[in-house]
């Protein structure tokens, strides 16, 4: 049993919770305590929050309430509880493990903030702890051997997706209204689809990866949310370059919150409602995409079956593997530096150890060839939008949420989980490679009650278009969110 505040605020978005604090109706301390109550009451069967620093969160809430009492102007999300993903999101004075067993045992304490974490704090969000992540973010489910699987609040037999599955499960369960997420191959959009949430992957270079990661890579950091107004406001607060960034997305012409409710005009939208490589696509996912297309047509947009031909390039994933494996090897080395010694084979999960070892046998020419393939792919993909298309509409995933355990390594086959992942995830990785912004929207539920997301992809740098169209869809009341539709 939770308190009345914990119950009444459970399904409010972050903006609504912040308004309670700003009006004085609820204090930041009460809001944080309510989130802690919900975590204690509801998280045990989900296993979404694996590292907790509740005392520090309560101290931060007291400071917000002091500033409010003194009449100081508060930032947009002042007093709102949130969670950080346990993957490359350093928070000064707090542990981070990246889902790795060796780091879990030693719990290294971060001595600095990732720039995005500083921006979360500056906009008033109060972090309660860390959410579960697959080790080093390598799989699209959240089942690390270090902490065990996170389960989907809609059905605990199923995955919440990954790699931001802990964050998505926490938001979908109403523990917090907004949570940090990151996306190197779909890891914001995949769990958003699995958990019935909004998941925006920003453009490459929209949000700094500073101070110690690289904007030219595949990964971007942001969040999963319950509303487009939270998505837009957080993007305003966290976007923009950091010191030394090597990719910087074009600056928006106005704040993203000003795009909410703006008529996007009649857009030319391509529909991809079949697997681009001719492989299996679950009928529920195809139905979700077609229903999304009908909705957009009803809103006045021009939708026709079309997609970039480069999505049919079956050979690309093998050419790309050199980059993925090299990134894994570098991640294992970075984790070793965090604890001051080399991680051993029994401290790294088989799939990640196998990829890291594979990288040791590649040549510089192999890696350079993979980078060249990425460049060619990016230009080919983005040319479709340059030729006059505004958006691409597709399923987010090839199937509804998978069962827990389907992505585990098998004896003698450490890559079994990665092979299973290739079946599960077809529509998200291409846009990490191309660097384009993409969003998963909660528009469908299977007869069994499992969420299925629909993905929209815009031209590079055009998050404004995604926010206009997504808020237009949101206004129809069609979002099928946990705790109730929009």
Contact, 165 vs 87, CB < 8 A? no
What is the pLDDT, as a whole number, of residue 2?
A: 79
pTM: 0.98
What is the pLDDT, as a whole number, of residue 38?
A: 98
What is the pLDDT, as a whole number, of residue 1?
A: 52
Q: Which residues of the chain fall below pLDDT 50? A: none
Report CA-CA distances (Å) from 23 to 26, 73, 74, 295, 298.
Answer: 8, 12, 11, 37, 39
Report d(CA 289, CA 301) in Å as an integer: 15
Report d(CA 329, CA 332) in Å as an integer: 5
Catalytic positions: 85, 163, 187
Report d(CA 196, CA 198) in Å as an integer: 7
Beta-bridge mates of residue 395: 454
Cis peptide before 321 (omega within 30 of 0): no
295: number of Cβ within 10 Å: 18
Element at 458 (helix H, strand E): strand 451-458
Long-range contacts of 237-240 (CB under 8 A, 24+ apart): 237/75, 237/76, 237/77, 237/119, 237/122, 237/123, 238/116, 238/119, 238/120, 238/123, 238/207, 239/202, 239/206, 239/207, 240/207, 240/208
Taken in order of first residue, the domains within the chain and their CATH numbers are 4-474 (3.90.1300.10)
Element at 281 (helix H, strand E): none
What is the pLDDT, as a whole number, of residue 320?
A: 73
């Amino acid at each position: 049993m939770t308190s009345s505040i914990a119950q009444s605020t459970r399904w409010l978005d972050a903006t609504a919770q912040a308004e309670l604090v700003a009006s004085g109706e609820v204090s930041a301390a009460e809001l944080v305590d309510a989130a802690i109550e919900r975590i204690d009451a509801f998280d045990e069967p989900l296993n979404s929050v694996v590292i907790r620093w509740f005392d520090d969160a309560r101290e931060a809430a007291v400071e917000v309430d002091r500033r409010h009492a003194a009449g100081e102007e508060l930032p947009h999300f002042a007093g709102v509880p949130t969670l950080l993903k346990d993957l490359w999101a350093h928070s000064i004075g707090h542990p981070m493990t990246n889902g790795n067993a060796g780091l879990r045992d030693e719990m290294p304490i971060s001595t600095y903030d990732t720039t995005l974490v500083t921006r979360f704090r500056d906009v008033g969000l109060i972090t309660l702890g860390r959410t579960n992540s697959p080790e080093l973010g390598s799989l699209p489910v959240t089942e690390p051997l270090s902490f065990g699987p996170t389960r989907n609040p809609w059905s605990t037999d199923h995955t919440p997706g990954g790699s931001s599955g802990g964050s998505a499960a926490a938001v979908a369960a109403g523990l917090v209204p907004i949570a940090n997420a990151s996306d190197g191959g779909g890891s914001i959009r995949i769990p958003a689809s699995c958990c019935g949430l909004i998941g925006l992957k920003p453009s490459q270079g929209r949000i700094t990866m500073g101070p110690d990661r690289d904007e030219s890579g595949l990964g971007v950091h942001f969040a999963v949310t319950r509303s487009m107004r939270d998505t837009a406001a957080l993007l305003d607060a966290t976007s923009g370059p950091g010191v030394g960034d090597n990719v910087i997305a074009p600056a928006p012409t106005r704040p993203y919150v000003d795009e909410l409710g703006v008529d996007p005009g009649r857009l030319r939208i391509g529909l991809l409602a079949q697997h681009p490589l001719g492989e299996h696509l679950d009928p529920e996912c195809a139905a979700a995409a077609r229903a999304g297309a009908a909705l957009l047509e009803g809103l006045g947009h021009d939708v026709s079956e079309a997609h970039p031909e480069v999505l049919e390039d079956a050979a690309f994933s093998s050419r790309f593997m050199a980059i993925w494996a090299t990134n894994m090897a570098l991640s294992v080395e970075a984790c070793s530096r965090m604890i001051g010694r080399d991680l051993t084979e029994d401290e790294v999960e088989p799939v990640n150890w196998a990829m890291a070892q594979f990288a040791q046998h590649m040549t510089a020419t192999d890696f350079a060839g993979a980078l060249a393939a990425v460049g060619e792919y990016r230009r080919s993909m983005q040319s479709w939008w340059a030729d006059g298309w505004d958006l691409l509409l597709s399923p987010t995933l090839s199937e509804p949420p998978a069962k827990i355990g389907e992505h585990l390594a098998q004896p003698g086959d450490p890559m079994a989980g990665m092979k299973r992942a290739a079946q599960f995830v077809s529509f998200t990785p291409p846009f990490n490679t191309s660097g384009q912004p993409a969003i998963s929207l909660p528009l469908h539920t299977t007869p069994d009650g499992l969420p299925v997301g629909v993905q929209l992809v815009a031209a590079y740098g055009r998050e404004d278009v995604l926010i206009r169209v997504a808020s237009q869809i949101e206004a129809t009341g069609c979002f099928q969110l946990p705790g109730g539709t929009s």
